[in-house]
Amino acid sequence: MAQAVEKVATSPKEHDALISGSEAIAVACKLADVDVITAYPIRPYDTVMQYVAKLVSNGELDCEYIVAESEHSQFEIVKHASAAGARVFCGSSGVGWMYAFEALTVTPALRIPMVAMVGNRALDDPGAFGVEHNDALAVRDLGWQLVWVDNAQEALDTALIAYRVAEDRRVFLPCAIACDGAFLTHSQSQVKIPPQEWVKRFLPPYNRGDLLLHPDNPITVAPQVNEDWLMEIRKHNDEAMKRSKTVIREAYAEFAKIFGRDYGNPFFEEYQTQDADVVLVGMGTLSMPVKVAIRRMRAEGKKVGFVRIRWFRPFVAEELAATLGRFKAVGIIDRDFSFGSPYTSGVLATEVRAALYPAEKRPPVLAFICGLGGREVTVPDVQRMSEMLLRAAAGERQPLTTWVGIRE
């Protein structure tokens, strides 16, 4: 097996590189010194496996790199490796992620701190490469931590944070980093790559402790149970997910100290919300056109803000509801669909509405379905949504769900 050559490991300074979101994730794998990586190609995730392969062949990353025969095996292999104490990485996209679904369900149940990258892609049919968030969202109820990022730097940083959170003994839950296909996975931008030393300080070794599968620690994992056992087992994961919120906060604070990049509130980013009358809420790279549109509208005196949700699981309902309660109307942009859901909106809108229900202040919520299948979310799209929000804020009745950017 190739020995890793530490090219920049001793460098005390970070260095700039022009890399894509996928490359940033691969670089994070190298910095995190991941032990076992499995791969199976599907666009847009496959760019990560290509960059990882390159790192391995260049001798920069010393890991077991296994190309499986399917996504299901891909995720099963790392699940077992993680149970045996290896730091692991995996990933997929769209229907590939769905093909691994059985493995995806057992991974959080066994408290496996796998870190995965989901290159968001529309689910077949029809075959399409463009971004939709339904693939990653499909695991939202299972115990996966889910985080959305909107640029390559954040992808790299979040991958390092994900390892620290997932591998914390209080958590031991998998974490999927959702990266929008094309806009993030296939687009290179300037990224600061931290030195290995900083990462070593930030990321302690993975210690599986009493759950380690090893001859010296004889345990049986995942036996069959009857109705007398499962509720207690589910409660374990419920508690772990609750604890994850605390651990995420700790990790971001520590990250800011060591790396000098402070993300503020880890769970969601607020943009120009201070004096906003209305806000849009969304996840991923649609933040770019939204921010542009907001700046233009503000020039016209329209007080629109934006809340970009990073961590969808755990979902900080109380904190988000308190924030959204400050505004006169809230618009949720879903780059996903949930056919037949309440008010036939999307997953995020349904979650935000549920989060707001017990809140003291409940502004009107409008749901927007936008940017499906990788369609660009445009500045005029955002302006249209904002205008509807402003009308709702003025007390005018607006449709609860609107498809924006559809030919009609």
Give the neighbor-by-neighbor strand order of the sheet with 88-92: 64-67, 36-39, 88-92, 115-120, 175-180, 145-148, 311-313
Q: How many residues bind other proteins (CB under 8 A)?
A: 23
Q: Binding string, 217-246, against other proteins, x = CB under 8 A?
A: -xxxxxx-xxxxx-xxx-xx---x------
**Strand pairing of 401-404 and 365-370?**
parallel
Write out the binding residues for other proteins, residues 345-364 only, by CB under 8 A. none
Q: Does 67 bind other proteins (CB under 8 A)?
A: no
Considering the complex, what minimum distance in angstroms separates the CB of residue 208 from other proteins?
9
At 72, is the secondary structure helix, strand, or coil? helix
**Strand pairing of 188-193 and 15-20?**
antiparallel
Closer by beta carbon to other proteins, 109 or else 258? 109
Closer by beta carbon to other proteins, 114 or else 280? 114
Q: Which of 181, 28, 42, 37 is nearest to 119 (CA)?
A: 181
Residue 256 CB coordination number (10 Å): 14
Q: Does 54 bind other proteins (CB under 8 A)?
A: no
Considering the complex, what minimum distance in angstroms separates the CB of residue 79 from other proteins?
12
Asked if the bond preceding 266 is cis, omega within 30° of 0, the reply is no
Closer by beta carbon to other proteins, 1 or else 222? 222
Closer by beta carbon to other proteins, 125 or else 228? 228
Closer by beta carbon to other proteins, 225 or else 394? 225
Closer by beta carbon to other proteins, 208 or else 302? 208
Residue 123 CB coordination number (10 Å): 18
Closer by beta carbon to other proteins, 234 or else 257? 234
Considering the complex, what minimum distance in angstroms separates the CB of residue 211 from other proteins?
5
Q: Which region, judged by CB under 8 A, interacts with other proteins, from 104-112, 156-164, 176-184, 340-348? A: 104-112
Considering the complex, what minimum distance in angstroms separates the CB of residue 297 from other proteins?
49
The answer to whether 177 touches 159, Cβ cutoff 8 Å, is yes
Given 4, 98, 211, 256, the residue binding other proteins (CB under 8 A): 211
Q: Does 109 bind other proteins (CB under 8 A)?
A: yes
Considering the complex, what minimum distance in angstroms separates the CB of residue 109 from other proteins?
6
Residue 241 CA to residue 315 CA, distance in Å, equals 10
Distance separating the N- and C-terminal Cα atoms of the chain: 58
Q: Which region, judged by CB under 8 A, interacts with other proteins, from 51-59, 212-220, 256-264, 338-346? A: 212-220
Q: Does 216 bind other proteins (CB under 8 A)?
A: no
Query: 137-142: long-range contacts at Cβ-Cβ below 8 A with a sequence spacing of 24 or more?
Result: 137/312, 137/336, 137/347, 138/97, 138/98, 138/101, 139/101, 139/104, 139/105, 139/176, 140/312, 140/313, 140/347, 142/104, 142/105, 142/108, 142/109
Considering the complex, what minimum distance in angstroms separates the CB of residue 84 from other proteins?
13
Structure tokens at 20: 């894509």
Write out the binding residues for other proteins, residues 111-130 only, by CB under 8 A. 111
Q: Does 256 bind other proteins (CB under 8 A)?
A: no
Classify the phi-psi angles of 47: left when phi > 0, otherwise alpha if psi is within -120 to 50, otherwise beta.
Answer: alpha
Considering the complex, what minimum distance in angstroms separates the CB of residue 88 from other proteins?
15
Contact residues for other proteins, defined by CB under 8 A: 109-111, 172, 210-211, 218-223, 225-229, 231-233, 235-236, 240
